[in-house]
Amino acid sequence: MRPRSITNHVLGIGCIAASLTAIFLWIPSDTSTGLVETVRRQVSVGDALAPTVAAGFVLAGGALVHHRDGTASAKTRVTPGNLRFLVVLLSILAVSHAVMRWAGPAAAGLVTEEGYRALRNTIPWKHIGFFLGGSLLVTGLISSVEGRVTVRSILIGALATLAMIAVYDLPFEDLLLPPNGDV
Amino acid sequence: MGVFDYIRLGVLAVFGGPEMFSVLGVPISITLAMILFGFLLGIATGATPGLAGPVAMAISLPILISAFGFTPDALLPVMGFLIGVMKGATVGGAVPAILFNTPGTPDAFMTTLDGYPMARGGRAGKALRIAHFSSASGDTFSDVVLILCAPFLAILVESYLDLPEKTALLILSLAFISSVIGNSVGKGLISMGLGLFASFVGTGEDFYPRLSMGTQSLAGGFPVTTAVLGVLILGEVFKGIEDLRSERRSGAAPEPVMERGDQRLNRGDIGRLAPYIARSALIGTAIGALPGIGSTLAATLGYSLNRNRYERVKSTDDPAFGTGAPEGVAATEAANSSVSGANLIPVLSLGIPGNAAAVFLILAAESIGGFNPGPSVFRFSADTVNPELVIAFGLFTAMMLANLLNWTVGGVFMRSMGIMIRVPKHILLPIVLLLTLTAIYVQETRMEAMWFAIAFGVLGYFMRRLGMSPLPFVIAFLLGGKLEETARQAFAATGGDPFFLVTSPVAFAFIALSVGVIVFSLRRKKRAGA
């Protein structure tokens, strides 16, 4: 007999706890109508019913996983190594996201007087953030797999981002690359 | 307007649209050209390990919508392109499976069992020809079944099912999808419940957007693209990057295979393979018509059932299944390709997506507008033209054209795609990640949407690590709003009857089936795990 799976145990308990919290705390406090509403003697379905049913499915699924999926193969479990990878991945995404969002406005603020908003539809200003942030993202992820930063990975990141600019931005006037819809 | 008038209008909509270019003076319409481009892109995508049809569909959708706009005229070119990708990817997946023992798409795994030994034995060309012939046969059969069945099923649903029955049918579909996918009913239910829950955030009938925690970010709900692309594409990319990090493969070039002897597919071969292809096409079509059961299961079932027959009839000199039997390649490829057409039966007749490719077709229809897949599409109005029905017959025409392309240029193009194995996966996946995030931004135009997608990507990553299929999540997310709306209307129409789901015999049967399918799956999976 295989040992009980800690992953499934945690998943089951987590789903049960999360769904009970949703059903008894979150949904009642974050919806303005209940499960069923009566207005002028007309009974109708309230906004809380559907999410409560959905949380009920998560609860039932969690209970089933906890009680029945006793064992799990080595492939279906979350290890500390998986969590470390996620930290690295999300860090690369956060840094490149920040560069994508702020590099253009920062460059415009340093070099010009009118600011980024007035320039966000002109080349090269509108591409600065996307080019730097996108290159950083692609180069960072390639480097994380290769275990080192190489000139080749930097070039691939830059070329891939330029290709995306050519595909998404140059032929279409109505498409906005990040971050130009936000600034 | 009769049936034949609608068929004629559908065919004309495909052939008679705006001209893109002309060949020898013959004008080629935009839709026709888009089907061709999509088909070729699909083969190339399928032949690239690490990519699959849905990735190509996700990345190209915003570009297509920007190019063609949000008018009903855009429906056929855009959906024709996506249909081309869907069909091409299924064929292309066999290429690296046969040449390099690496399945290009998950459903081509079984193809490696006999395809690669054939290639190692100097019969790579023959294995590719068998894969293409079987795939095209299965696909064509499946499309014919779709065209014959979908309208009748839709008319049946529209004629006999009222609001309570439609609500019960949606519940049955979700119960079915969450029970049969993956190895655990519990995990299927969690995936489905989370998808429903996410679809209810920021929506509702009251002025206050429910579950938004008072924030403006959640008040509009999660955009469909962020949830679908996040869980389906980003989750897979995150997992792929981590797998590569742990493997740290050297990227050595795969061993080239040499061809020896006759590589052609002759009549004798076709006659010998035909029973296996026919059996697998039937299995794949039957499985494809049920929402949620993918082509991987069809390929496995088609392979196993045909292996039993093969063992009974084969002569002593013939190779066994798994050691280079051409029948094994034919059985797998016919089964997984015959899923694609049949998978559109629940989409077009019920509005319920059955697989990831169908999800993107629904996304395209929702983004462009003017076509709502479901039973109302097949309303044969006598006095006025039902434009949705014209589009439906246009889609059928597009599918048959894609089949025609498959039979004509598909084989040659497929056999030239062996080079795609050389695309390094650790370079490809980060580019796909940036492309997907960019595709989401150009549709939503706010950085917040990218973070929603990344959060859904993390959810999709954990689902894969925990052996939980993300498909019930995506399908429940897409159907959540429709389920709630239908239930609200049914509740109101029955005068607030809380038992509206069990008062009509048909609705009761659907609900009983929903419970039955869950209980049956629980018992079956318990036996399988014992």
Residue ranges per structural domain of chain B:
3-253+273-417+425-529
Return all residues near B378 (Cβ < 8 A) that are at least 6 apart: B150, B151, B154, B155, B158, B348, B349, B389, B392
- Of A7, A50, A93, Cβ closest to residue B200: A50
Q: Which of residues 458-477 of B touch A (CB under 8 A)?
A: 458, 461-462, 465-467
- Of A81, A89, A178, Cβ closest to residue B447: A178
Q: Does B23 have pLDDT greater than 90?
A: no
B529/A contact by beta carbon, under 8 A? yes
Residues in A closer than 8 angstroms to B239, CB to CB, are none
- Could you give phi then psi for residue A72, rounded to 5 degrees? -135, 145
Query: Using the beta-carbon criterion (under 8 Å), do B445 and A176 form an inter-chain contact?
Result: yes
CA-closest candidate to residue B472, choices B209, B189, B248, B281: B189
State the pLDDT at residue A4.
65
Average pLDDT, chain A: 89
Distance (Å) from the C-alpha of residue B460 to the closest C-alpha of chain A?
Answer: 12
CA-closest candidate to residue B281, choices B144, B115, B88, B139: B139
Residues in B closer than 8 angstroms to A120, CB to CB, are none
User: CA–CA distance from B213 to each of A33, B193, B210, B479 (Å)?
Assistant: 15, 20, 8, 23
Query: Using the beta-carbon criterion (under 8 Å), do A97 and B451 form an inter-chain contact?
Result: yes
State the average pLDDT over residues B205-227.
Answer: 90
Average pLDDT, chain B: 86
Least confident residue range of A56-65, B191-200, B384-393: B384-393
**Cα torsion for A106, A110, A114, A117, to the nearest 10°?**
-10
Q: Does B69 have pLDDT greater than 90?
A: no
Least confident residue range of B6-10, B407-411, B418-422, B433-437: B418-422
Annotate B38-64 with b (16+ C-beta within 10 A) or e (fewer). Answer: bbbbbbbbbbbbbbbbbbbbbbbbbbb
3-state SS assignment for residue B29: strand
**Which residues, in sequence order, are bridge partners of residue A45?**
A36
State the average pLDDT over residues B98-114.
Answer: 79
Query: Using the beta-carbon criterion (under 8 Å), do B186 and A48 form an inter-chain contact?
Result: no
Instruction: List the single residue in B with minimal CA-CA distance to A84.
Output: B242
Residues in B closer than 8 angstroms to A161, CB to CB, are 434
pLDDT in tens, B42-56: 999 888 877 778 888
Per residue of chain A (183 residues), give pLDDT as tens. 455 678 888 999 999 999 999 999 999 999 988 898 887 778 888 999 999 999 999 999 999 998 877 665 656 788 899 999 999 999 999 999 999 999 989 998 888 888 888 888 888 888 999 999 999 999 999 999 998 899 999 999 999 999 999 988 887 777 788 898 887
Annotate A126-160 with b (16+ C-beta within 10 A) or e (fewer). Answer: bbbbbbbbbbbbbbbbbbbbbeeeeeebbebbbeb
Residues in A closer than 8 angstroms to B241, CB to CB, are 89, 141, 144-145
Which token pair is A43? Answer: 């009974």
Q: d(Cα B283, Cα B302) in Å, to the nearest integer?
A: 6
Query: Using the beta-carbon criterion (under 8 Å), do B210 and A47 form an inter-chain contact?
Result: yes
Q: Does B449 have pLDDT greater than 70?
A: yes
Dihedral sign for Cα atoms in the order B178, B180, B183, B185: positive
pLDDT in tens, B141-171: 999 999 988 888 888 888 888 889 989 989 9
**Which residues, in sequence order, are bridge partners of residue A38?**
A43
Q: Which of residues 378-417 of B touch A (CB under 8 A)?
A: none
H helices of B314-386, where? 326-342, 344-350, 356-368
Mutate to test the interface with A, among B441, B486, B497 (most CBs of A within 10 A): B441
- Start-to-end C-alpha separation, chain B: 58
Residues in B closer than 8 angstroms to A140, CB to CB, are 430
Query: Using the beta-carbon criterion (under 8 Å), do B204 and A45 form an inter-chain contact?
Result: no
Q: Which of residues 150-169 of B touch A (CB under 8 A)?
A: none
State the pLDDT at residue B525.
67
Q: Does B250 have pLDDT greater than 50?
A: no
Q: Does the N-terminal peptide bond of residue A124 adopt cis geometry, omega within 30 degrees of 0?
A: yes
Which token pair is B142? Answer: 């499946």
Which of the two residues, B288 and B463, has the higher pLDDT score? B463
Mutate to test the interface with B, among A1, A13, A141, A152 (most CBs of B within 10 A): A141
3-state SS assignment for residue B141: helix
Which pTM was predicted?
Answer: 0.85
Query: Using the beta-carbon criterion (under 8 Å), do A76 and B207 form an inter-chain contact?
Result: no
- Of B63, B188, B238, Cβ closest to residue A168: B63
pLDDT in tens, B317-354: 888 888 889 999 999 999 988 988 888 888 888 888 87
Q: d(Cα B528, Cα B530) in Å, to the nearest integer?
A: 6
